[in-house]
Structure 1
Amino acid sequence: MMQETWARSAPALVDVAMGRRPADLVIRGGAWVNVYSGEVIPGTDIAVAEGRFAYVGPDASDAVGPGTEVIDAAGRYLVPGLIDAHMHVESGLVTVTEFARAVIPHGTTSMFIDPHEIANVLGLPGVRLMHDEARGLPVNVYVQVPSCVPSAPGLEHAGAELTPADIAEALKWPGVIGLGEVMNFPGVVGNDPKMVAGIAATAAAGLTVGGHYASPDLGRAFHAYAAGGPADDHEGTTANDAVARVRQGMRAMLRLGSAWHDVAAQVKAVTERGLDPRNFVLCTDDSHSGTLVRDGHMDRVVRHAIAQGLRPVTAIQMATLNAAQHFGLEREIGAIAPGRRADLILTSDLAALPVEMVFARGRLMAQDGALTGTLPRFDYPASARGTVKLGRSLGPADFDVPAANARAVTARVIGVVENQAPTRALERVLPVADGIVRMDPAADVCQVALVERHRGTGGVINGFVSGFGYDRPCAVASTVAHDSHHMIVVGTDKACMARAANRLHEVGGGIVVIAADAQGGEPRELALVELPIAGLMSDRPAEVVAAQADRLTQAMRDCGCTLNNAYMQHSLLALVVIPALRISDTGLIDVTRFAPTEVLSAIHESQAPA
């Protein structure tokens, strides 16, 4: 379909380039950032017709007619519209439309989204909703069909399941560009029939298979994973990770999200070790609304990559052409060149990258940080709401970890790692009173619970977590819990934990902070972000959600948390495809072995031996 669109426009583009027909838009006197040649070419004119570049060269005056809009670039840089090669809209806590509204002013004109969050709640109908919403937007939003729903079969139960038949059906949809990140890397290595079928169907359709290899093991398992078909990977955290992926013919996707800061270490593969940058791609993976509103989107990633020592043009290549080529869309997006969609940015500084004007398909969509174009309205149906089902009201006793006849226990504890997705597998000695294991906030050990919320079973799985630093009676609960999206509750006080869980059931999903004051008064609600769509997204503007998220962040700080983007760390505590230790609805999971493990590793008896 995309090539047919170009074919219909080709005669008009030729006529404009030849001066036989006026252009719709001419931009004069810019410095052309040519991502093919790696040059910056001053004194360049651009002519646009039917939403595509018709002419890029020294003089477009022959393309100016009575109805042509003419803009003087005044020597500013002409940069291709930026591309996010791997991301999850749901992590912004807003819909596709509101996400686009937030990022277009930052120069993002193309996104490759993997809606596996909504898939885990609503299944294929949820993916179709986001696909259809994306198709109506004036920017390019391509959908990757979620490959692993649930992400780790046997270790968790999500709200839905995508079968190979579901994947094969979705691969035929017009806005689909490939298969989403293949998180079940043991399934690929073990030739799991479901994984093999999904990858094979994608390859047969001539589409791209996304990767997700989260293990630090770069031995046989990694080589087998590469042989299994995934074409890229964003889970590297070191320069060696990036090198290994590129050497195996994969694209190394370097991410800078709200909490995942993996560009600086991996880009050294280019800046220090001299690898060819053509197979490196920039992405965000997960950005919450506060980051989008205050810090930016792909413009933020490009600026950061430049600050790590990349040439500005090289960093821009990694956020434009490299991504387009990876997904087989080189003739459509990723460059300012004839025939491509007329997506571009005007900026006065190539390194600082202030985004001064944004054009998408030849239309001015944003100027000086403000959206100027219009976006269509998209309404989510009632079937996408009311998805938080607890089955009963929870009480403090639901969060008890029993240990009869013990004076203390050694417990396995999830250790949060700041600014990274992996966790540590810790062990801590915890006291026992009245047969119940106690938390130890003074040693930064509090409780984590997974509350089943898809089928209303009333199930609660309890464990322990360290790294949040909460130092007062409090609880944080969220129905955003990658990837199964049950409810995750972290707290130092079980009454607060119960109240937080019940509150999210009451509002239909979101994130809430409940806390008592330092003197131990009645717990109260400090912050609430309501996410009524699948318990994952709000249909309010990103600025509104960002303000709510700011109050959430401050509330977490008021409870003693000093982590950067602590909420993002909270949301990954159930992600059972990234080492080392996670919690699921089946129990505590050792992700280094892909197997359940006990919360209590040792019991210290209350009576000393005679």
Structure 2
Amino acid sequence: MERTVENLKEMIRAGRGKIPAHKVIRGGQLVNVMSSEVYPADIAVYNDMIAAVGDVEDYIGPDTEIIDAKGRYLVPGMIDGHIHSECSKLSITSYAKAVVPRGTTSMISGLDEYISVSGLEGLKEIFAEVKKSPLKVFWGAPYKTPYTIPESTVAFNFTKEVHQEVQKWPECFGVWETVREFLQEEDEDTLGAIAEAFKNRLPVFGCAPMAQGNDLNGYLCGGVRLDHESYTHEEVVEKMRKGMHMLIRESSVTHFLEENIKAVTEVNPAFARRVSFCTDDVTATDILEKGHLDNVVRLAIKAGVEPMTAIQMATINSAEAYRIDHLVGSICPGRIADILFVDDLHNFNVEEVMTNGKMVAKDHKLSYELQAPERSSVLKGVLKCKKTTKEDFEYRTSIENGEAKVLAMDVKGPFVRKRRDVVLKVENGIVLPDPEQDVAMVSVLERFGRNGNKSLAFCSGWKLKKGAMASSAAPDDNNLVVMGVSAEDMSIAANYVIEQGGGQVVVADGEILEFLPLPVGGIVSDLEPEEIAAWEKKIDHAARSLGSDLPDPMMYMFFLPITAIPDYAITDAGPVDYTALTTFEPVLEVTEK
């Protein structure tokens, strides 16, 4: 929506009815999220802009296209307030094919997974891809990369000096996902990014799970405007009472809406106007089977939120939180023409979608052909790490035979791992994983050719009885993560992903059970959403055949390098105690026998 002096003159004339509209939508019920009203109104659209709302007879010319809304509700395009679309394994083009027909026309993202594997050069290619997509991306520059303490390895380090450049880009709308610990530790790059944002009058987006009390106060004094991650509604209430805009997350693996919406339905309905929605991490399977933000709206209504309020949470609230409400979030003159045709407000079935003034989707499908761009070498998924042997996944210790007491990272949810002390056998100097005690090995291999780091630790909760899994898509660093109870199978899994240039694999007894290729940066694919969903189901079935009963064993595994939530994680730098902000030795003591 670039505006110059000349095209502003044109837009003003269009708004005054001096130039005929290109399209007029007739016969609909306008859902006015600005005034919380629903009433009959027609809409005039000029190019990508809403020119007028209400009586638009003066805007109709001989060539104006008339679109019959047939009594349906006209709703603003929805905004996903915080999303790592890369975690869906869908490229921007493929992701747009999945979510735009469901009514999501804008998203706020750092596109940080792309940055971690391809730097600014790759990011610029993604920006070019976005421009050809019906899905708008309001980009926040990551506060820094990597997001880890101690620092792990990524392909590109985002520093305060980088912020001095990129915050001036037209694509930049703020600072993305500022993790609380980096403010508390007074990290120079993070504080430099925020200082630059203040200079450029850009908002600072937050990530402060479980932040309360003095820690929350300090975080807010660092200039953060909003947060997308709360584990209880009491946490939501405290953050809102202290001035934050809050996003309620409902992802494929963290279902927080039912709990967090209680801040509105049980504590204070007035909070509703500053609550919005995000999905953060979603699978292609969930989008196709349940929907996207349309599903979140339905869940909110089911939880007792009025339909108008739920729609505001999916539209204008997010736009205001991110200071983009002059562009999107409502059906008003001067805004981008992102309009949903909805059957009724309770069922909230999105039947047709207009983005940027063009009808682009009907019956949950794009209505035109959208092709992914040709991928350059920058975004080809080459893994620059050496092939492994089984010895790389054997934890050697100082005794030959006996027992070892180890700290296993015990999964309590997709992001939360707690301490579990377990005694394991030591044979021939190797601490053995133990399927009977639900203890597997996990390793992260640096894959960008920067230092060759390899880490090794113990984990619990996957209940693997055999085999191994590996993934080169592993936010936020996207190094190669491997888990298993067989060193041989772990090596086979890692090597196969390296050979294939990225993807996800499940191995058992030396055989490849399933492989999902991710050739774009080693993290996403240009396949159709339906194809990725089919692969997800195959991978999930294969992982379950190893013994796991987690909701999504592969996704739970590839979240292990995320260190922003206490207590434990693992990166290429080693296993991490995130409470102490340091790596740790997983073998606590050994006893020779």
| Both structures adopt the same fold (TM-score exceeding 0.5) | yes
CA distance in 2, matches of 1:510, 1:229: 38
CA distance in 2, matches of 1:350, 1:217: 35
Matched residue, 1:51: 48
Matched residue, 1:553: 540
Please give the TM-score of this superposition, normalised by the length of structure 1: 0.92
CA distance in 2, matches of 1:44, 1:54: 13
Matched residue, 1:222: 216
* Counterpart among 562, 566, 579 of residue 579 in structure 1: 566
Q: What letter is aligned with 2:467?
A: C
Answer whether contact 2:405 2:423 (CA < 8 A) is retained: yes
Distance 1:11 1:159, change over 3 A: closer
Answer whether contact 2:276 2:313 (CA < 8 A) is retained: yes
CA distance in 2, matches of 1:14, 1:460: 60
Answer whether contact 1:390 1:456 (CA < 8 A) is retained: no
Q: What letter is aligned with 1:163?
A: T
The offset of 1:410, in angstroms, is 2.0
Answer whether contact 1:144 1:179 (CA < 8 A) is retained: yes
CA distance in 1, matches of 2:114, 2:281: 14
The alignment partner of 2:267 has SS state of: coil
The offset of 1:21, in angstroms, is 4.2
Written as runs of structure 1 = structure 2, the 5 A alignment for 1:114-193 is 114-183=110-179, 185-193=180-188
CA distance in 2, matches of 1:158, 1:90: 16
Answer whether contact 1:576 1:589 (CA < 8 A) is retained: yes
The alignment partner of 1:27 has SS state of: strand
The alignment partner of 1:454 has SS state of: coil
Answer whether contact 1:119 1:146 (CA < 8 A) is retained: no
For residues 296-341 of structure 1, the C-alpha deviation after alignment (integer angstroms, 9 at most, x for no partner) is 2211222222222211111111111011112222121100112111
Matched residue, 2:403: 408
For residues 456-489 of structure 1, the C-alpha deviation after alignment (integer angstroms, 9 at most, x for no partner) is 7554311111122222x21110011222221111
The offset of 1:281, in angstroms, is 1.3
CA distance in 2, matches of 1:21, 1:49: 9
Instruction: Tell which deviates more after alignment, 357-366 or 122-131.
Output: 122-131
* Counterpart among 503, 507, 517 of residue 514 in structure 1: 507
- Give yes or no for the alignment of 1:593 onto 2:587: no
The offset of 1:157, in angstroms, is 2.2
Matched residue, 2:481: 488
- C-alpha RMSD of the superposition: 1.9
For residues 238-274 of structure 1, the C-alpha deviation after alignment (integer angstroms, 9 at most, x for no partner) is 1012112212222111111111211211111001001
CA distance in 1, matches of 2:259, 2:57: 46
For residues 508-542 of structure 1, the C-alpha deviation after alignment (integer angstroms, 9 at most, x for no partner) is 111111113xxxxxx21111111122211112222
CA distance in 1, matches of 2:324, 2:24: 24
Written as runs of structure 1 = structure 2, the 5 A alignment for 1:370-519 is 370-375=365-370, 377-391=372-386, 393-405=387-399, 407-418=402-413, 420-455=414-449, 458-471=452-465, 473-516=466-509
Answer whether contact 1:139 1:361 (CA < 8 A) is retained: no
CA distance in 2, matches of 1:4, 1:593: 52
Matched residue, 1:11: 12
Matched-pair identity in %: 34
For residues 333-389 of structure 1, the C-alpha deviation after alignment (integer angstroms, 9 at most, x for no partner) is 100112111111111121221110100122101011110144464222112224312
CA distance in 2, matches of 1:256, 1:353: 17
Answer whether contact 1:390 1:457 (CA < 8 A) is retained: no
Answer whether contact 2:406 2:587 (CA < 8 A) is retained: yes
Q: What letter is aligned with 1:475?
A: A
- Give yes or no for the alignment of 1:107 onto 2:93: no
Q: What letter is aligned with 1:10?
A: M
The offset of 1:153, in angstroms, is 4.9
- Give yes or no for the alignment of 1:267 onto 2:261: yes
Q: What letter is aligned with 2:38?
A: V
CA distance in 1, matches of 2:135, 2:586: 47
The offset of 1:82, in angstroms, is 0.6
* Counterpart among 508, 525, 530 of residue 543 in structure 1: 530
Please give the TM-score of this superposition, normalised by the length of structure 2: 0.95
Matched residue, 2:271: 276
For residues 90-115 of structure 1, the C-alpha deviation after alignment (integer angstroms, 9 at most, x for no partner) is 11212212211221111111111111
The offset of 1:602, in angstroms, is 2.9
The alignment partner of 1:210 has SS state of: strand
The alignment partner of 2:28 has SS state of: strand
Q: What letter is aligned with 2:341?
A: L
CA distance in 1, matches of 2:251, 2:381: 29
Answer whether contact 1:94 1:542 (CA < 8 A) is retained: yes
- Give yes or no for the alignment of 1:24 onto 2:25: no
The offset of 1:290, in angstroms, is 2.2
The alignment partner of 1:123 has SS state of: helix
- Give yes or no for the alignment of 1:200 onto 2:187: no
CA distance in 1, matches of 2:3, 2:512: 53
User: Aligned residues, how many?
Assistant: 590
Q: What letter is aligned with 1:273?
A: V
The alignment partner of 1:356 has SS state of: strand
